[in-house]
Amino acid sequence: PLLFSFYFSSPMASSVESARFTPSMADPAKSSSHTSTNQKERPKSPTFLLEKSIKANPNDPFAWHLMGVHCMTKGSIDEAFRCFSRAEQIKGGFSTSNQYYLALCHKEKGNRDESMRILYSAISLPARNAVDKKGQKHARVLLEQLKKEDKDAK
């Protein structure tokens, strides 16, 4: 949970407001002071919205990355791994954050060597935004943790 907090505490996440389209916006004649419950648009789940985004553009690595983060928060490591891998397949090295999460999945699956290889790659990539900077920071911490575990095991 703490590892994912940087995504959901970013300035971008807090500044985004959800605007909801209502029928009265399209036709002022249909406007009324109250809307019946069957006319209200129901909020969609994050999974639904991310799946819709991926379906609209299956070659968007950011959509796959966000779906992976969402899967990680739900505890679905295998599904998250698939999403992060797909994002890298589409555009390798596009995000230090994606590589960090991919390395985290490898660690959770017991692939320590691959995790370390990806963490070195994540650290060497340029951080293009605040999310990447935090991903890079977490990558350094995880890499040091893995190195320490290897040293202690010897």
pLDDT of residue 121: 96
d(CA 133, CA 123): 9
Give the residue among 88, 92, 129 at the shortest CA–CA distance from 105.
88
**pTM, full prediction:** 0.72
Which tops the pLDDT comparison, 10 or 137? Answer: 137
Does the structure show a pLDDT above 50 at 50?
yes
Does the structure show a pLDDT above 90 at 52?
yes
Token readout for 38 is 């069957």
Q: Tokens 């935090």 belong to which residue?
A: 134
d(CA 46, CA 139): 26
